[in-house]
Amino acid sequence: MSNPIRVMLVDDHTMVRKGLATFLNVFDDLQLVGEAENGAGAIKVCGEVLPDVVLMDMIMPDMDGAVATNLIRQKYPNVQILVLTSFKEGELIKKALEAGAIGYLLKDVSADDLGRAIRSAYIGRATLSPEAAQSLVETTNLPPVPGLDLTGRELDVLALMVEGLSNTQIAAQLGVSTSTIKSHVSNILSKLGAGSRTEAVTLALRNHIII
């Protein structure tokens, strides 16, 4: 490679940046061109040095890595963002990738693997650490939270069920027929996957559907 890959570091911990800077010096094809300690600083420095690849921390004060990634990708679409963080929660990984990051690595990554990830990012190839990939799969496959598909009236009925009211009492309170309430109760049980009124009430309380 005639020119080294220009790398910028974004992390709120000075010692982490120093360690990464030392690592970058080991490789002839990687060059440190800028540093920032938060997301806002990252956007500013990125505009000044125009790196090829940014190593971006996720959790930082003032502006987090996901917001900074999104703004950098909008302003400088040729700059690739490679997340390097200590956090492997699936939702955080999804947030980073949706913001435009091309990869997600944990800080315990080996120097060689990080070097390969930077080179891959430079040519537009994604890299996910095994732990990040597993967390992403687990998050994607999570069952939906019960109760999100209940209608407003079904939530009203469920709230009265939690209070222990019968169908007749609920119908009187809501000013509708008992058969209408029976229909609502049937829909509620179906949507919650509950086999009885008692189970539906238990699910409603456990999942904070009714507070």
Instruction: Please give the Cα distance from 53 to 30 (Å, whole number).
Output: 10
Q: What percent of the chain has pLDDT over 90?
A: 68
**Could you tell me if 82 and 106 are in contact, meaning their C-beta atoms sit under 8 angstroms apart?**
no
Instruction: Please give the Cα distance from 52 to 6 (Å, whole number).
Output: 5
Query: Nearest-CA neighbor of 196 among 210, 208, 186, 183?
Result: 186
Q: What is the pLDDT of residue 142?
A: 63
pTM metric for this prediction? 0.67
**Could you tell me if 207 and 145 are in contact, meaning their C-beta atoms sit under 8 angstroms apart?**
yes
Look at 120 and 145; give whichever has higher pLDDT: 120
Instruction: Please give the Cα distance from 62 to 95 (Å, whole number).
Output: 17
pLDDT, tens digit, 9 for 90 and up, residues 106-140:
999 988 999 999 999 999 999 998 888 888 877 77
Strands 127-128 and 103-106: parallel
Q: For 59, which DSSP code?
A: S
The SS3 call for residue 167 is helix
Mean pLDDT of 22-43: 94
Q: What is the pLDDT of residue 80?
A: 97
Distances (CA, A) of 96 to 22, 66, 142: 26, 5, 19
Q: What is the pLDDT of residue 144?
A: 64
The most confident of the ranges 12-26, 135-149, 195-209 is: 12-26
All domains of the chain, ordered by start, with CATH? Answer: 5-140 (3.40.50.2300), 152-206 (1.10.10.10)
- Across the chain, mean pLDDT equals 91
The most confident of the ranges 1-5, 147-151, 165-169 is: 165-169
The tokens describing 113, both together, are 């693997």
**Could you tell me if 125 and 117 are in contact, meaning their C-beta atoms sit under 8 angstroms apart?**
no
**Could you tell me if 56 and 81 are in contact, meaning their C-beta atoms sit under 8 angstroms apart?**
yes
